[in-house]
Amino acid sequence: MKSIAIGASTLFLSMMLFSCASECAQENKGADSKKEAKTEYTPPAWINEGENITFEVLEMGCNMCRTTVQNTIEKFDGVAEVNVDLDSERATFIFHPKKVNPGKIAEAIRAEGYEVNHR
């Protein structure tokens, strides 16, 4: 019975990695032809009242994963200066404690399929 469970886990992980690799290939296809205009960043007025937090986000395998985690965090009102680093598997951002609960952000990242630990 253990071998079936291990086999199923391995198959699931392989499917996830293949899917991730396929998405990366599509993401990178024609990347040179798609250059976005950079806009100047203006921090929110509450930024000095915000708190820094870092999550360890495991199972990110590519830039598409990094972008998914970053977009998930950025969708919350009360979040600023999101930085998701694929190599260190960390997501760091500033949040306003009266506007957003970091636990809700961690839940949203988990819902996307990643393991999250508070650092």
Q: Where are the beta strands (DSSP E) in 14-114?
A: 51-58, 79-85, 90-95
Picking from 22, 118, 33, 93, the residue whose alpha carbon sits closest to that of residue 64 is 22
pLDDT of 112 > 50? The answer is yes
User: What is the per-residue pLDDT across 3-15, written as a single tens digit (0 to 9) for each?
Assistant: 554 544 444 444 5
Model confidence at 64, pLDDT cuts 50, 70, 90, reads very high
Q: Judge whether 73 and 84 are in contact, CB under 8 Å.
A: yes
What pLDDT is stored for residue 72 in this prediction? 98
Return the structure tokens found at 5: 């469970």
For residue 88, the cross-strand partners are none
Please tell me the pTM assigned to this model. Answer: 0.66
Residue 65: pLDDT over 80: yes
Per-residue tokens: 86: 């694929």
Q: Which amino acid is at 76?
A: F
